[in-house]
Structure 1
Amino acid sequence: MYDEKGRQYLDCINNVAHVGHCHPDIVKAAHEQNQLLNTNSRYLHDNLVDYAERLSKTLPEKLCTFYFLNSGSEANDLALRMARQYTKHKDVIVLDHAYHGHLTSLIDISPYKFRNLEGQKEWVHVAPVPDTYRGIYREDHEDSVTAYANEVRSIIEQAHTRGRKIAAFFAESLPSVGGQIIPPAGYFQKVAEHVHKAGGIFIADEIQVGFGRAGKHFWAFQLQGEDFIPDIVTMGKPIGNGHPIACVAATKEVAEAFAATGVEYFNTFGGNPVSCAVGLAVLDVIEKEHLQAHATEVGNFLMELLNQQKIKHPIIGDVRGIGLFIGVDLIKDQAERTPATAEAEYLITRLKEEYILLSTDGPGRNVLKFKPPMCFSMEDAKFVVDTIDKILTDMEKQCLSQQETSSCFT
């Protein structure tokens, strides 16, 4: 990226510009379709059908009905409506510190937001994040998968004792705002079993992490295993490389129940010819430039470099990730794993002075989050980690000279 003075910045966090800022193929697709036609989706256009067909090939066959919208927030709001219509229930289970969008309905199911606003609604239930580094069940637990899933089962049982019924379990496939978390494999399957038994459905929010970012798979929920298929998948952000487009993919059963209301679902701009042309171009670039394989290769290299820094710098407590979705958990001490919030803020400020854009997430705002455009290179990875090494070394020298045991950066 470049600022108004032409200075170049390395972008390590922009998962919206999925295949790269202003990718010429994306710009060309939008421009060419704009020259032909752009109108609302009451007018049928081949791009809509072609795009839905292409997108369907990336998903399990069971997810066969598509709704196109303009943003991830719209997608999640629609998914919530569909879940309630299908199940005839109201309540929702979400993961702690989750963020699902800015609409009123989504603020209500986003602990990251509602804890600082009007608080938790009676129909919202919050489950622990399946974080095996700093969560309630950690890497030394004999079966953290079952333990975390049983927390969801307990929530369902408690809700039932109060006469409440579960419509959906709503979760990011890889919790991002919660601290760049990689749920242990098998967790979603066990949760889905409990939720389905209670008459609810499973909604996978792929808005931050879909479209090959995980590298190994096109969708992050597929990391859980081939036997796991959500009832609804929501998409946004990277789907249009910065163009406003989003999508909800649902099973036939859920879609038919939603249609049975007799109230037409219509979105003026969702699925318009230009948006679909852009969506098709994004899929073309991912395939043509082998960006899934690239994410795996560069992501593994970046993880390797960061783990080397973990050995060198005690402030790095954990390095976790998959593909180009990586978190670096900064801590004050190894025993308590206290979040190094001030240090993390100082580090990203120093990085910006070095023309590197990085940010923090997690409840303690202490997790460095890597979600760069998928064209992020080996050279970029090395440059970032070398710069982090230099800054952390300077920070350690500064603390040593001040002879302080507490934070030097508050």
Structure 2
Amino acid sequence: MTGSSILDANAYRGSDEDDALLRRRREVLGPAYRLFYRKPIELVRGSGTRLYDADGVEYLDAYNNVASVGHAHPHVAAAVAEQVARLTTHTRYLDRALIDYVERLLALLPPSADRMVLTCTGSEANDLAIRLARAATGGTGLIVTSEAYHGNTDLVTGVSPSLGGGVGVGPDVWLVPAPDPVRRPSDDPAADLTAAVEGALAEMVERGVHPAALLVDSALSSDGIHTDRGLLTGAVAAVRQAGGVLIADEVQPGFARTGDSFWGFARHDVVPEIVTMGKPMGNGLPIAGVAAADAIMEPYAAAAPYFNTFGGTQVAVAAAAAVLDVIEREGLQDNARRVGEYFRSTLTEVAKRHPVITDVRGAGLYVGVELVAEAGTTTPGGDLAADVVNGMRERRVLTSVCGPYGATLKVRPPLPFSTADVDRFCTELDAVLTALT
């Protein structure tokens, strides 16, 4: 794709003259913002796994991990309301709740991650993580997957090739291909990825570049969702042998989404030197962070202090602490595991009736459904996937696409998603594919 595989594949392309609200939006927000769907939705309310538009029409949300524990969760809403009525400022004052939260979150990470810095967004977290890695290793070289997305600051845009050819990768950045089980079937995708990383490291040596890090989303989300166990293990070992570190970007796969573990990197039996996180932390409130060993953070911190005005405010921390409460009290990690298994099993049955579905993959409540243009071919079904997403939207189920061809349905619902929600999703998908194919 020449455009962004994550922003343009399912973007609205109609005329702003079609609707007064669309016209007003364009006039004040400009062209860089994207809207989903051929017929955009004006959402005004949410509850659990449901969203409601301005006309009161209900939609099943099978896409948003920002409201990870469910839209407008009452425990999170109450915690935020109570705190915003009391105090919100920055982290230059002592704050017991902030310390309590960070201690609680670090306890969910490997013991080597004993320090944390809070930011507002995953973009900021990944930006800081790269600076930490470069300071700790003395290297500059970065390896990312070929359709990675790690954010939109100037630095992390350069390691986010999924933003499209108009952006370009930054200096000292090497791209390695993610698995493609449809067009490049392999008996050992982990070995293929390891070989690609070793090739990138060899090129660095030839150019006199020392490696700093492998920066990777542990579910390869924007590459089409690839969650095979151990997929990253060999690649990480190769980077470490060359003197680099692993930055695990957990913005999408973290916080119980993969079901069998709290963090996506655990599926690969690796312990990252640096872990970044974001979106699901605050259930819609802006909070993100970087966790690492003190030895990793110290070389950068000794040279340049880090301060983020809104990173770790009292209101954001109240939301984040409430999110951990809900995940624990409502058993949402186990729900992701159980419902995710049922989801993939049910989707596999749908695939038997619709051979344009060539692969159903994922872990927990992170599912990829690969489509081809025609049954019996390997031609990417990007146009079909866009038609499916918009067909589902008309049937009041919201999802999107990912992957290098925009041909993978990206199903990433809030963690309370139920088996009844799965049945509704699959029933509507079956109906849409029947109509389209």
* Distance (Å, rounded) in 2 between the aligned partners of 1:372 and 1:97: 22
Q: 2:193 pairs with 138, 148, 151, which one?
A: 148
2:204 is the alignment partner of 1:159: yes
What is the TM-score of this pair, normalised by structure 2? Answer: 0.86
Matches within 5 A, 1:232-381: 232-261=274-303, 263-333=304-374, 336-381=377-422
Moved over 6 A (4+): none
Q: Cα RMSD (Å) of the superposition?
A: 1.3
Q: 1:348-399: per-residue Cα shift (whole Å, max 9, x none)?
A: 1111111111111111111111100011111111011011111212223xxx
1:79 aligns to 2:129 (yes or no):
yes
Question: Does residue 205 in structure 1 map to residue 249 in structure 2?
Answer: yes
**1:174 aligned counterpart, secondary structure:** coil
Deviates more, 1:228-237 or 1:344-353: 344-353
Residue aligned with 2:52, SS: coil
Report the CA distance between 1:164 and its aligned residue. 1.0
Please, which of 239, 251, 257 is the counterpart of residue 195 of structure 1? Answer: 239
How many equivalent pairs are there? Answer: 387
In structure 2, distance between residues paired with 1:371 and 1:163 = 41
Aligned residue number for residue 221 of structure 1: 265
Distance 1:135 1:390, change over 3 A: closer
The equivalent of 1:405 in structure 2 is none
- 1:120 counterpart letter in structure 2: V
Query: What is the TM-score of this pair, normalised by structure 1?
Result: 0.92
Counterpart residue identity of residue 188, structure 1: L
The whole-number CA distance in structure 1 between the counterparts of 2:204 and 2:307 is 34
C-alpha contact 1:128 1:135 (8 A) present in aligned 2: no
Q: Which amino acid aligns with 1:82?
A: L
For residues 15-41 of structure 1, what are the alpha-carbon distances to aligned partners after superposition, in whole Å with 9 as ceiling and x for unaligned?
101000110000100111112211111
Shift in alpha-carbon separation, 1:195–1:135, aligned structure 2, 3 A: farther
Deviation at 1:315, TM superposition (A): 0.6
Structure 1 residue runs of 5 or longer lacking an equivalent are: 397-410
Contact persistence 1:42–1:268 (CA under 8 A): no
Percent identity over paired residues: 40
CA distance in 1, matches of 2:251, 2:109: 15
Deviations 1:134-191 (CA, angstroms, capped at 9, x unpaired)? 464x24x2x3322320210111011101111111110001111111222x33332211
- Other structure's SS at 1:63 match: coil
Shift of 1:121: 3.4
Partners in 2 of 1:119 and 1:212 — Cα distance?
32
Partner of 2:148, secondary structure, is: coil
Change (3 A) 1:23 1:118: closer
Q: Residues 321-348 of structure 1, C-alpha deviation per residue, up to 9 Å, x if partnerless? A: 1100000000134554211111111111
Aligned residue type for 1:305: T
Structure 2 counterpart of 1:102, one-letter code: N
Partner of 1:100: helix, strand, or coil? Answer: coil
Over 3 Å counting, the alpha-carbon distance change for 1:194 and 1:347 in structure 2 is same
